[in-house]
Chains A and B, each alone.
Chain A
Amino acid sequence: MTTRIDTRFAELKKQGRSAFVTYVMAGDPDLRTSLDIVKALPKAGADVIELGIPFTDPMADGPSIQAAGLRALKGGMTLKKTLELVRAFRKDDDVTPLVLMGYYNPIYIYGVDKFLADAKTAGVDGLIIVDLPPEEDDELCIPALKAGLNFIRLATPTTDDKRLPAVLANTSGFVYYVSIAGITGAAAADANAVGEAVARIKRHTSLPICVGFGIRTPEAARAIAQKADGSVVGTALVDALKNSLDAEGRATAKTVNAVAELTAALAQGVKGAKQAAE
């Protein structure tokens, strides 16, 4: 199977550049604004979109993304509405890869088979489910692959060479390398250490490797783009969104632009980077 993710990374490889992957929370701060933001991301230079599924207890995320999830939930966001958002986005954009990122419980409660069918129909290309390690592949990973969705696994600094094959076994689309042992939005990633880790993972797989956690600025995104097949930015975009809200946490006229402008600046950083030699 070839998904939008595979197609996009093949194109980028031809162009000799690294991908810029953006993360925003679905429904933050409300469904309408969130849809406008997601629509604005490809125009501002995002190559791949990660869309967060709001969850009350995001244990691998930092305060910014946790707060974004709670804002979305307060605004009435659900997994069902997250899929509606994807469907609405697909009306105008049939090429930008879109990956849902979140935790397992909302999907488990929705029902795995129904979720996979609905996600595929809505236009989702892949899943990143933080709390499903390869040890729990039967839950969602294997059914997702059968349903034609990519299942993107996280590899981390604690994933050693012995464990990497297990982590990569059922991974598809790309590998998400978590650049630091920590939560989202924490300490900055060290580009050299990331370069070594990417090289190490590349010895085990031919999949593209995108790097996230700790990338906040165009310079940092550029440094990572020189070492990896993609850089992921989430917390910085979520913070830009938050800073545009009014005192009650509602969207303002500035909100969509605040995210789009930072996306454009970060995309410039990534696109200015020369691809590191393999």
Chain B
Amino acid sequence: MTIAKPNSYRSGPDERGHFGIFGGRFVAETLMPLILDLEQAYTAAKADPAFQAEMNGYLKNYVGRPSPLYFAERLTEHLGGAKIYLKREELNHTGSHKVNNVLGQIMLARRMGKKRIIAETGAGQHGVATATLCARFGLECVVYMGAVDVERQQPNVIRMEMLGAKVVPVQSGTRTLKDAMNEALRDWVTNVHNTFYCIGTVAGPHPYPTLVRDFQSIIGNETKAQMQEVEGRLPDSLVACIGGGSNAMGLFHPFLDDPTVEIFGVEAAGHGLTQLHAASIAGGRPGVLHGNRTYLLMDADGQIQDAHSISAGLDYPGIGPEHSWLHEIGRVNYLSATDDEALAAFQLLSKLEGIIPALEPAHAIAKVMELAPKRSKDHLMVVNLSGRGDKDVPQVGDILRGNSK
């Protein structure tokens, strides 16, 4: 089937939350009134200059924005091709891009008079950002985290607890991010009246994919202005890692209608695409889970399959619905990097630039290592360095010392 190209790649979703066939609102009736309220509150907030002004204040003075666009000179020399810039989201307060979205959602929750915040987290970065802003605004915070992830991301669990959040290890299913999301949805169904569900990625029922994208678009908007300032033109390519895909969508979205900009999303190929992995686009097909239709890893009977990635933040069997649409329509190229490739990239960036990346953006760096040498020296490539690697240091240390795999 050929799909007609739209006039703009940035106008979606439609009023029912659909990006092509993707997106939508597939949730239990108990949640529908809440989701409609949220949509209304968001529409009102967007039109309110006071909301934007307050957010800009916190983005600047609390989060530490704008994040730098850094020319990675040694990485560029080493790879011998495209000129590589890193968008330094890891320098944000809390250490990743997650804080951009959480700030927006917490401000919305406050407008809606909600006092209790719940969240799900994989690697813990979204949980830490949520716990941080709940502490800042004096809100109760409960974070659901798969029991497996609680084990492999101890530093972030401790941080969340220090910030006053209750971390609930989820023992059901595969005990990773997907199950944490199920538990968060169950909590929300049970506590609808006082609870705001702060979703960490561009997925879930409409309007979440849209509002998370909008809050993260600051990444791409800043990149555009910064590149204009340093190089006097748009970048030629963008690269970002994808689990649910919020850091990628934030970087990509402002550039979707710039046809000269090549865009690459990098999924986690785990042990390889023929084995255990978390690459929903490369290895999945459209289905319905967690409130939206999108590419999912599943068996022939529609049962959701286990995802695997070395990075807890990418270990999810789905992807945001707008990514599914951008894939089908051909605007974004979706690639994948294995655990081993990400580990090699993790070490290379640490040694060449003195920047220890999180394992998530290490997947993006891994593809830069392939793409950059094939591009000319005047090609401008931006990689979203979505988070810093402190949380992964114990895990990677164990692997490099041969203690685990």
Contacts and interface: CB of A to CB of B under 8 A. Distances in A.
B30 A135 contact: no
A70 B175 CA distance: 14
Given A78-B301, A105-B302, 11 more contacts: A57-B289, A58-B182, A73-B303, A103-B288, A105-B287, A105-B289, A106-B303, A108-B302, A133-B32, A136-B25, A183-B190
B157 interface: no
B301 A79 contact: yes
Contacts of B179: 57
Interface in B7-62: 16, 24-34
Interface residues of A, number: 44
Given A131-B288, A155-B29, A181-B30, A59 B304 contact: no
Contacts of A186: 190
Contacts of A60: 28, 30, 185-186, 189
A158 interface: yes
B192 interface: yes
A109 B302 contact: yes
A78 B30 CA distance: 27
Contacts of A105: 287-289, 296, 298, 302, 304
B304 A57 contact: yes
Interface string B173-187: 100001101100110
Chain A contact residues: helix, strand, loop or mixed = loop
A103 B304 CA distance: 12
Nearest to B193: A181
B147 to A, nearest CB: 14
A160 B33 CA distance: 8
B152 interface: no
Interface of A: 54-60, 62-63, 66, 70, 73, 78-80, 103-110, 130-133, 135-136, 153-160, 163, 167, 178, 181-183, 186
B290 interface: yes
A278 to B, nearest CB: 25
Interface in B257-314: 287-291, 293, 296, 298, 300-304
A157 B189 CA distance: 11
Nearest to A186: B190
23 contacts: A54-B303, A56-B303, A56-B304, A57-B304, A59-B28, A59-B189, A60-B185, A66-B172, A73-B303, A80-B301, A105-B298, A105-B302, A109-B287, A133-B27, A135-B32, A136-B24, A156-B29, A156-B30, A158-B34, A163-B33, A182-B30, A182-B189, A183-B186
Contacts, number: 118
A59 B182 contact: yes
Given A108-B287, A133-B29, A163-B33, A59 B186 contact: yes
A67 to B, nearest CB: 9
Contacts of A70: 173
B27 A163 contact: no
Given A56-B173, A60-B189, A109 B298 contact: yes
9 closest residue pairs by CB, A with B:
A109-B302, A106-B302, A182-B190, A60-B28, A156-B30, A59-B185, A131-B26, A78-B301, A56-B304
A133 B193 CA distance: 19
B28 A109 contact: no
A87 B32 CA distance: 34
A157 B34 CA distance: 12
A44 to B, nearest CB: 29
Contacts of A163: 32-33
Contacts of A131: 26-28, 288, 291
A181 B32 contact: no
Given A60-B186, A182-B189, A109 B301 contact: yes
Nearest to A55: B303
A108 B293 CA distance: 10
A158 B304 contact: no
Nearest to B186: A183
Nearest to A156: B30
Which of A106, A109, A154, A159 is the most central at the interface, judged by chain B CB atoms within 10 Å of its CB? A109
A155 B293 CA distance: 23
A131 B34 CA distance: 15
